[in-house]
Amino acid sequence: MADTPDKKPWLVRMHYRMRTVAFAMMFVASALHSTGKSYSPGLWLLLVLLFLVYPHLQYYRACRAPDPLNAEMHNLLTDSVLLGMAVAALGFPLWITFSAFLGTVSNNTANMNWRGAGKTLLAFPAGALAGCSVFGFNLSTETGWPATLFCIVGLTGYLVAMGNISYSRIRRLRLTREALMLREAELMDVNQALHRNFQEIDVLHNQLREQANRDALTGLFNRRYLDSTLDRELARCKRDGQPLTLIMIDIDHFKQVNDTYGHQAGDEILLRLGTLLAGMARAGDVACRYGGEEFLLLMPTMPLDAAVVRAGELRTTFGEMVVPFGEFRLKATLSIGVSAYPGHGVSAEELIRHADKALYRAKHGGRNRVEIWIPKAEASDAQ
């Protein structure tokens, strides 16, 4: 559980409880050890201040520090120094010294890894030397049975408590990790769902874009797509020094088909022509329904003479085609106009206009034919 802003870090509060109990037990052990000995008032004052007052002062200091955790790490080293001083003042009683050293070195190692153990090995003897300089060197290692038993029980309880705290911390970390793994799995599921949704959106977007660029009846590209493509293809052919050809197509007497057999019959003819154009178009060609019964085939890199041959094949194939419609068998012919870059224009508007004029000549020249835009012929027709 995370520490809330109005609470001190969990480690500081835990150390305060452990320090208060452990130091109180050291005071009791020292009192038991004093049986039969005459401690001076100054020594008793030191023991009271160290074991009963000091833990509260350290907690207050850590709580008021800008960085409580860093302050608590310094408190642990201060514990080692003061405990070394205390055991030196008591004459280094064996079990009290052993308990104080083992408690502080294990606590520092648990909080600062091996560096904590190394610092304790320096801090504890430093405190002992300081104690000897103040109280004199007095080596009296014998510990009475009451103090010995109390130290054994107290040290055991302290180490068990530290083990339980370590277990609690490990368990909390494990639960936190499991919760994070669960959240990570949930996030991955959400991410995969979002990815699928984006893919579906992309598919729908492409479908909508395709539908916006396609004629609903024939499935060919529409005039909107042609307008956005012709300029780009023409610029590419200019850059690469390649030709480009436009074939403008119109179904002869289409209005008569609609008037005689109905618009559904006309739609059937449009569908057949659309299918034929789509089948004849190369990979880079653009076959589109230009409007009504007019179609246009854009052929980048196609020379004029080859395009005229292709237009003738289209006219012949469509003219031989029979379109079933109920009990009727419909036939129609095509009039085709051709213009090409670079000979017939250098802009999209010029090429379309000249292909349309060539188509006009084909229709007024008897229909069912292919005409190429020729400037002299247009001038002659105008006269």
Residues involved in catalysis? 293
CA atoms within 13 A on the CB side of 186: 6
CB-neighbour burial class of residue 329 (10 A; exposed 0-12, middle 13-18, buried 19+) = exposed
In order, the DSSP letters of 297-318 are EEEET--HHHHHHHHHHHHHHH
Do the bridges between strand 323-325 and strand 294-300 make them parallel or antiparallel, or are there none, so unpaired? Answer: unpaired
Q: 16 with 55: CB under 8 angstroms? A: yes
CA dihedral sign of residues 211, 217, 219, 220: negative
Q: Give, as one character, the DSSP assignment of residue 4.
A: P
In order, the DSSP letters of 245-289 are EEEEEEETTHHHHHHHH-HHHHHHHHHHHHHHHHHH--TT-EEEE
Cα distance between residue 307 and residue 340, in whole Å: 9
Nearest C-alpha neighbor of 277 from the set 257, 302, 294, 256: 294
Q: 130 with 50: CB under 8 angstroms? A: no
CB-neighbour burial class of residue 166 (10 A; exposed 0-12, middle 13-18, buried 19+) = exposed
Element (H, E) at 73: helix 68-90
Dihedral in degrees, nearest 10, Cα atoms 202, 203, 209, 213: 150
Structure tokens at 273: 């022509």
CA atoms within 13 A on the CB side of 39: 18
Site of tokens 């006219």? 315
Structure tokens at 55: 């833990």
